[in-house]
């Protein structure tokens, strides 16, 4: 089982924000889960450097573009670790390995007769790094996304014969109903193709910053013709002396935000066909996490940059909030206050208190010894596990509902504590076996749920297992009733999610 997952590579015209962390964190949940299931997985993220907007920022700062990119790449490289994402490679499009491969790739398209020279005369939005036609603009002639007028560009460029791939792409969309997910995005991409494809320019003449075309070194590759190729190029040099293409291509799954559907779902497959590569497994398009900025000052003291939520609440809490705040795949407005509410009510209370109470009871009533005993079971862990796995598998990638399902399990265990009232059972020695059983079921449920939750809460899950004196093995087959070992020495656990003092307002 091979599982190759990618995020978009992010533009380095400014530093990372919470939206970039969103894709990187959710991708990490999907990859961690597949690893638990035994998949040979590879997770790629990185940065997109050869954009006009990057070049312009460098100029504004009086720096060589490469020097600017080297400096700003630092916080980008730190982003995965900050949000606890376990990536396999971080690509920069200025890597020599990438540049070499892009030239080879474009040369293959050229050799295939799909590239020709023509004059481009039209509009370009630097914010989108995209050519625009009049009908894509607002009535006032602005880019609807960036609300600025696009620039007029007139230059001799190299064009890719995208129009030649219209029928082939429609055929693929017809044969592969899961090629793009969710289905409303599939329909969006398909209707765009059906509406007729226009050839697009894959080079820029007026900009020195970029990868020179192999057959015409006076021009550099258009940033998208360079950036999309990262999904393949990385596999050729991520591991020295190894070419991972045979291993991970076409096992590729691309995650992307809804604003870049056309590039990924239309241009990229056509470019792959032209260069003679197989197409990825599928592309999953997610919505935007829209933050209710008004509330930032109220709930966060002097924090103004949402990414700093990580420093206050920890990466696990931010990941948890991201996965639950908005249904993955859809747009949604998330409240920054939501993170505090979820931290206190769900993480600290539902989960944290459950662990504290459970361990405290085992310590107090059973001197820390866990024995199987005899009691009605608390939770069908195998059923919960099967449900989560189905939701997280491609093509669903439904991290939101998967986390809901795990949380249902947490709530069920809390109800079990109330219903079984171990503190009552502890009053009478005659109930000893049943008390053992109830406490075992709680520890067992928590053990299985910790394993199931590990992709979402990679720091917290091992702490739960350690507090319960259980193995740290996260293999998925361990999400089953009866997984907990009989152990001794369980002590009352430290709070998983301690109360947080917010930094004082400035």
Q: Which residues sit at the interface with ligand MSP, rule CB under 6 A? A: 8-11, 19-20, 22-23, 48, 227-228, 230, 256-257, 259-260, 288-289
Whole-angstrom CA distances from 287 to 22, 125, 182, 294, 334 are 10, 22, 10, 21, 12
Which CB atom, from 34 or from 230, has the smaller least distance to ligand MSP?
Answer: 230
Q: Which is nearer to ligand MSP, 19 or 149 (CB)?
A: 19
Cβ neighbours for 138, distance < 8 A, ≥ 6 positions apart = 144, 147
Q: Which is catalytic among the residues 17, 156, 168, 288?
A: 17
Residue 45 dihedral angles phi and psi, to the nearest 5°: -145, 180
CB of 129 to ligand MSP, least distance (A): 7
Answer for the pair 42, 244: CB distance below 8 angstroms, yes or no.
Answer: yes
CB of 74: closest distance to ligand MSP in angstroms?
A: 16
Q: How far apart are CA 64 and CA 67, in angstroms?
A: 5
Q: Environment class of residue 461 by beta-carbon count within 10 Å: exposed (0-12), middle (13-18) or buried (19+)?
A: buried
Q: Count the neighbouring beta carbons within 10 Å of the beta carbon of residue 224.
A: 24
Q: Taking Cα atoms as reference points, which of 97, 89, 42 lies closest to residue 280?
A: 42
> How far is it, in rounded angstroms, from Cα 426 to Cα 434?
9
Closest CB to ligand MSP among residues 84, 93 = 93
Which candidate, 417, 444, 422, 441, places its Cα nearest to that of 353?
417
Smallest distance, ligand MSP to C-beta of residue 99, A: 15
Nearest to 446 by CA among 356, 317, 345, 373: 356
Task: Find out whether 15 and 72 touch, Cβ atoms under 8 Å.
Answer: yes
Question: Does the active-site annotation cover 17?
Answer: yes
Minimum distance between the CB of residue 16 and ligand MSP, rounded to whole angstroms?
Answer: 9
Helix/strand/coil percent split, the chain, to 5: 50, 15, 35
Lookup: tokens for 83:
């949000």
CA atoms within 13 A on the CB side of 459: 16
The least distance separating ligand MSP from the CB of residue 319, rounded to whole angstroms, comes to: 14
Query: Given 125, 253, 264, 286, which residue is catalytic?
Result: 125
Residue 33 a catalytic site member: no
> Which CB, 259 or 485, lies closer to ligand MSP?
259
Closest CB 474 distance from ligand MSP, rounded Å: 27
Please give the Cα distance from 296 to 244 (Å, whole number).
Answer: 44
Identify whether 156 is a catalytic site residue: no
In the complex with ligand MSP, the residue whose CB is nearer, 162 or 256, is 256
128 or 381: CB nearest ligand MSP: 128
Catalytic-residue membership of 143: yes
Least separation in angstroms between CB 290 and ligand MSP: 6
124-129: Cβ within 8 A, 24+ apart? 124/150, 124/151, 124/152, 124/153, 125/150, 125/151, 126/52, 126/53, 126/56, 126/151, 127/53, 128/259, 129/11, 129/51, 129/52, 129/53, 129/223, 129/224
Tell me whether residue 265 is one of the annotated catalytic residues. Answer: no
Minimal distance in Å, beta carbon 256 to ligand MSP? Answer: 5
CB of 467 to ligand MSP, least distance (A): 34
- When CB distances to ligand MSP are compared, the closest residue is 19
Q: How far, in Å, CA of 253 to CA of 395, rounded? A: 9
Alpha helices in 37-134, H assignment, sequence order: 52-60, 65-82, 96-111
Residue number with CB closer to ligand MSP (20 or 366) = 20
Tell the smallest beta-carbon distance from residue 280 to ligand MSP (Å): 12
Q: Of these residues, 128, 253, 264, 286, which one is catalytic? A: 128
Q: Which of 143, 253, 254, 286 is the catalytic position? A: 143
Three-class DSSP category at 76: helix
- The two structure tokens encoding residue 49: 């450097």
Tokens of 436: 């053992």
Closer to ligand MSP by CB, 233 or 359: give it. Answer: 233
Pick the closer one to ligand MSP by CB: 306 or 422.
306
Choice between 264 and 478, CB closer to ligand MSP: 264
Q: State the virtual CA torsion across 254, 259, 264, 270 in degrees, nearest 10.
A: 170
Catalytic residues: 17, 20, 125, 128, 143, 146, 295, 298
């Amino acid at each position: 089982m091979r599982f190759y997952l990618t995020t978009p590579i992010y533009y380095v015209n400014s530093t990372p924000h919470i939206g970039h962390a969103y894709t990187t964190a959710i991708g990490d949940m999907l990859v961690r889960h597949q690893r638990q299931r035994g998949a040979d997985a590879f997770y790629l993220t990185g940065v997109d450097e050869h954009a006009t907007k990057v070049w312009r920022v460098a100029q504004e700062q009086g720096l060589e573009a490469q020097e600017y990119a080297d400096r700003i790449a630092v916080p980008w490289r730190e982003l995965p670790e900050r949000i606890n994402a376990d990536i396999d490679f971080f690509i920069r499009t200025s890597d020599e390995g990438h540049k070499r491969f892009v030239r080879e790739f474009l040369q293959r398209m050229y050799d295939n007769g799909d590239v020709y020279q023509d004059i481009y005369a039209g509009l370009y939005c630097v914010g989108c790094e995209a050519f625009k036609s009049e009908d894509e603009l607002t009535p006032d002639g602005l880019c609807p996304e960036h609300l600025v007028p696009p620039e007029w560009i007139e230059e001799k460029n190299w064009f890719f014969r995208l129009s030649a791939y219209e029928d082939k792409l429609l055929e693929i969309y017809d044969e592969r109903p899961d090629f793009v997910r969710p289905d409303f995005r599939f329909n969006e991409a398909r209707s765009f193709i059906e509406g007729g494809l226009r050839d697009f320019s894959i080079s820029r003449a007026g900009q020195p910053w970029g990868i020179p075309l192999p057959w015409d070194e006076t021009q550099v590759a258009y940033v998208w013709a360079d950036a999309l190729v990262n999904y393949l190029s990385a596999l050729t040099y991520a591991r020295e002396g190894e070419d991972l293409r045979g291993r991970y291509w076409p096992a590729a799954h691309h995650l992307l935000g809804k604003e870049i559907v056309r590039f990924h779902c239309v241009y990229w497959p056509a470019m792959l066909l032209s260069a003679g590569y197989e197409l990825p497994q599928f592309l999953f398009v997610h919505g935007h996490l829209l933050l209710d900025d008004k509330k930032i000052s109220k709930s966060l003291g002097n924090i103004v940059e949402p990414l700093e939520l990580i420093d206050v609440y920890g990466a696990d809490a931010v990941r948890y909030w991201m996965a639950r705040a908005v249904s993955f795949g859809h747009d949604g407005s998330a409240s920054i206050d939501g993170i505090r509410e979820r931290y206190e009510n769900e993480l600290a209370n539902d989960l944290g208190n459950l662990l504290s109470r459970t361990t405290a009871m085992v310590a107090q009533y059973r001197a820390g010894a866990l024995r199987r005993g005899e009691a009605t079971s608390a939770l069908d862990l195998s059923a919960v596990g099967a449900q989560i796995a189905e939701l997280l598998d491609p093509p669903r990638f439904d991290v939101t509902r998967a986390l809901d399902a795990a949380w249902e399990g947490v709530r069920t265990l809390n109800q079990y504590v109330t219903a079984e009232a171990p503190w009552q059972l502890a009053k009478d020695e005659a109930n000893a076996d049943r008390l053992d059983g109830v406490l075992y079921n709680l520890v067992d449920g928590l053990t299985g749920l910790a394993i199931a939750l590990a992709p979402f809460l990679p720091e917290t899950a091992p702490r739960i297992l350690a507090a319960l004196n259980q193995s740290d093995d996260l293999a998925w087959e361990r999400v089953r009733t009866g997984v907990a070992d009989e152990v001794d020495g369980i002590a009352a656990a430290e709070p998983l999610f301690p109360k947080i003092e917010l930094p004082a307002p400035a």
